[in-house]
């Protein structure tokens, strides 16, 4: 089982661990080398220390799934990934230049320089979107440049791939992202819209050209939602010397409705490189924020952000039924685990395109403090993920057909029900535990789920349990 830190000089799967060069909110970065590879590489590992957010592990799973599927000059070259059962990691090329974050001390920058950055980033977003990925965390620290000038996007832990299960969407109700750059639809929990990345890029360009963030840096959901109705101060109000074409582009990127933004990242890149061909609208000359009545109408609109049409590939995934299997990983339940697998296989016989979501609930205390590490220093959430993957191995499911979720909750039945409702699960399969005094007095998790679930529920029991009943 994984340890929370890597020791400098250690060997892991042929890589020699160097110094830790960065400790972020969700992951840590190490220099590594490997025989046959020129120069220094980069190894990324999730944060597994006591008290860490379980989203760090889930986002790392997403990045491990997405990065091997990406190619081209606009993403880091992927080399290897580590198994969660031993040590989860991703090894990629290390780019020589610092991220765009290093430019913050020089703000504000000339509009032409910002447009150059924006066009290069838009090229990278276009390449990413063509590979079925929405980044959802475009910000200065996630943009680097190759010596040849191409922008490189890094950190895909919050990204959405329209041909893969979206673990972040399925497990967490609150939106994840970086507050100054999150699109309105992203704040509302919509993660499949490519133009969310254009909104983030518009926020970045506004910041780089004015030295001010268009929506500040709110730390609460209430503050994030203000961008649904409150427009930013026009860039030229802050810096009158900015050209009209620049304000036209930036304010179009920052439209609340994605349909009013540029249709594609490629079209945005074209406009940034050809400002003389931009058709200026009222946006270009706007000198003030919208008036009180306009803001109030927007604020109390029934649907400030309309439901979005999902990409075709995502619609195909949604059309396949979702079978959620609630698995008890306690010792002594091997017979019940086998019975659950047999039931799942029978369901797949009739619905071969179904996706299997393997669930386990890490029960939290109602009063006492919870710890994220066990007595041996192992991360409990990660350990449960490994056990879920091991449970599913005999099913021999195709890549992308299974997903694995550890739900941390005080109430196991409530957690399973919330997952089923939020993710429109079609069928829940779960086991019934043996009879006990506590079960008779307090009721069973399976009984509560069967009574309240919005879908079909199959409760599996061992024959020995049935005989006892």
Domain ranges of the chain: 11-93, 100-299, 320-468
Q: Which fold has domain 100-299?
A: Transferase(Phosphotransferase); domain 1 (1.10.510)
Main-chain dihedrals φ then ψ at residue 217, nearest 5 degrees: -135, 65
Alpha-carbon torsion (161, 166, 169, 172), positive or negative: negative
Alpha-carbon torsion (43, 45, 47, 50), positive or negative: negative
Angle between helices 265-273 and 111-129 (to 10 degrees): 160
Angle between helices 195-210 and 265-273 (to 10 degrees): 30
What is the reported pLDDT for 131? 96
**pLDDT (tens digit, 9 = 90+) per residue, 421-461?**
887 788 999 988 665 544 444 458 888 998 899 999 999 98
Q: Is the pLDDT of residue 310 over 60?
A: no
Q: Classify 409 as helix, strand or coil.
A: strand
Residue 38 token pair: 């020129």
Q: In whole angstroms, what is the distance from residue 122 CA to residue 315 CA?
A: 25
**pLDDT (tens digit, 9 = 90+) per residue, 143-165?**
999 999 999 999 999 999 998 98
What is the reported pLDDT for 302? 67
Q: In whole angstroms, what is the distance from residue 49 CA to residue 443 CA?
A: 35
CB atoms inside a 10 Å sphere around CB 30: 24
CATH 3.40.50.620 fits domain 320-468: yes
Question: Of 260-274, 361-375, 414-428, which has the strongest mean pLDDT?
Answer: 260-274
Overall average pLDDT of the 328-357 stretch: 84
Question: For residues 187 and 175, is the Cβ–Cβ distance under 8 A?
Answer: yes
> How many distinct helices (H) and strands (E) make up the chain?
18, 15
Q: Is the pLDDT of residue 464 over 80?
A: no
Alpha helix stretches (DSSP H) within 157-290: 167-171, 184-187, 195-210, 221-225, 235-238, 244-253, 265-273, 282-285
In angstroms, how far is CA 430 from the centroid of its own chain? Answer: 27
Q: In whole angstroms, what is the distance from residue 450 CA to residue 458 CA?
A: 8
Q: In whole angstroms, what is the distance from residue 430 CA to residue 337 CA?
A: 9
Q: In whole angstroms, what is the distance from residue 65 CA to residue 399 CA?
A: 10
- Per-position DSSP letters for 123-139, written without gaps between them: HHHHHHHTTTEE-S---
What is the reported pLDDT for 180? 97
Question: Of 24-28, 118-122, 332-336, 401-405, which has the strongest mean pLDDT?
Answer: 118-122
**pLDDT (tens digit, 9 = 90+) per residue, 48-76?**
777 677 888 899 999 999 999 999 999 99
Grade residue 413 by pLDDT with cuts at 50, 70 and 90. very high
Overall average pLDDT of the 109-120 stretch: 98
Cis peptide before 254 (omega within 30 of 0): no
Please name the CATH architecture into which domain 11-93 falls.
2-Layer Sandwich (3.30)
Q: What angle do CA 163, 328, 390 make, to 5 degrees?
A: 55
All residues at 6 or more sequence positions from 309 whose CB lies less than 8 Å from its CB, including other chains: none
Cα separations (Å) of 198 from 34, 121, 129, 266? 37, 10, 11, 10
- Beta-bridge partners for 30: 20, 43
Q: What angle do CA 27, 32, 38 make, to 5 degrees?
A: 135
Predicted TM-score (pTM) of this structure: 0.78
**pLDDT (tens digit, 9 = 90+) per residue, 388-406?**
999 999 999 887 788 889 9
Q: Distance from first CA to last CA of the chain, Å, rounded?
A: 39
Angle between helices 412-422 and 445-452 (to 10 degrees): 30
Q: Which of 171, 282, 306, 169 is nearest to 231 (CA)?
A: 282
Grade residue 381 by pLDDT with cuts at 50, 70 and 90. confident
What is the reported pLDDT for 423? 78
Q: In whole angstroms, what is the distance from residue 455 CA to residue 182 CA?
A: 33
């Amino acid at each position: 089982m994984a340890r929370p830190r890597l020791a400098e000089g250690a060997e892991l799967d042929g890589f020699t661990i160097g110094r830790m060069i960065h400790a972020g909110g969700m992951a840590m970065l190490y220099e590594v080398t490997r025989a046959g590879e020129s120069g220094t590489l980069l190894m990324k590992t999730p944060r597994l220390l006591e008290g860490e957010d379980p989203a760090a592990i889930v986002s790392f799973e997403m990045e491990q799934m997405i990065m091997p599927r990406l190619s081209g000059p606009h993403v880091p070259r992927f080399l290897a990934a580590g198994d969660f059962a031993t040590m989860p990691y991703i090894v990629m090329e290390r780019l020589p230049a610092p991220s765009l974050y290093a430019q913050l001390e020089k703000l504000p920058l000339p509009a032409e320089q910002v447009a150059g950055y924006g066009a290069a980033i838009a090229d990278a977003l276009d390449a990413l979107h063509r590979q079925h990925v929405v980044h959802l965390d475009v910000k200065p620290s996630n943009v680097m440049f190759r010596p040849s000038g191409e922008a490189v996007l890094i950190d895909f832990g919050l990204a959405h791939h329209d041909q893969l299960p979206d673990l972040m969407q399925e497990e967490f109700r609150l939106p994840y992202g970086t507050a100054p750059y999150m699109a309105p639809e992203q704040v509302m929990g919509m993660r499949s819209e490519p133009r969310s990345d254009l909104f983030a890029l518009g926020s970045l360009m506004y910041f780089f050209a004015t030295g001010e963030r268009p929506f500040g840096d709110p730390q609460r959901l209430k503050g994030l939602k203000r961008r649904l109705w409150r427009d930013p101060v026009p860039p030229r109000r802050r810096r009158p010397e900015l050209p009209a074409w620049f304000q036209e582009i930036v304010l179009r990127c920052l439209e609340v409705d994605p349909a009013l933004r540029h249709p594609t990242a490629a079209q945005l890149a074209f406009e940034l490189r050809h400002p003389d061909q931009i058709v200026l609208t009222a946006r270009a000359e706007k000198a003030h924020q919208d008036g009180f009545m306009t803001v109030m109408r927007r604020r109390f609109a029934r649907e400030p952000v309309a439901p979005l049409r999902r990409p075709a590939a995502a619609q195909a995934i949604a059309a396949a039924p979702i079978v959620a299997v609630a698995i008890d990983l306690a010792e002594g339940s091997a017979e019940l685990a086998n019975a659950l697998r047999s039931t799942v296989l029978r369901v797949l016989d009739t619905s071969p395109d179904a996706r299997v979501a393997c669930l386990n609930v890490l029960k939290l205390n109602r009063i006492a403090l919870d710890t994220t590490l066990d007595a041996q220093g192992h991360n409990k959430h990660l350990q449960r993920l490994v056990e879920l993957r091991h449970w599913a191995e005999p099913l021999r499911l195709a890549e992308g057909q299974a997903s694995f979720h550890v739900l941390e909750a005080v109430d196991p039945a409530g957690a399973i029900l919330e997952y089923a409702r939020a993710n429109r699960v079609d069928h829940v399969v779960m086991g019934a535990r043996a009879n006990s005094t506590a079960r008779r007095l307090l009721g069973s998790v399976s009984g509560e789920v069967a009574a309240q679930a919005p879908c079909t529920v199959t409760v599996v029991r061992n024959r020995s349990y049935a005989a006892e009943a």
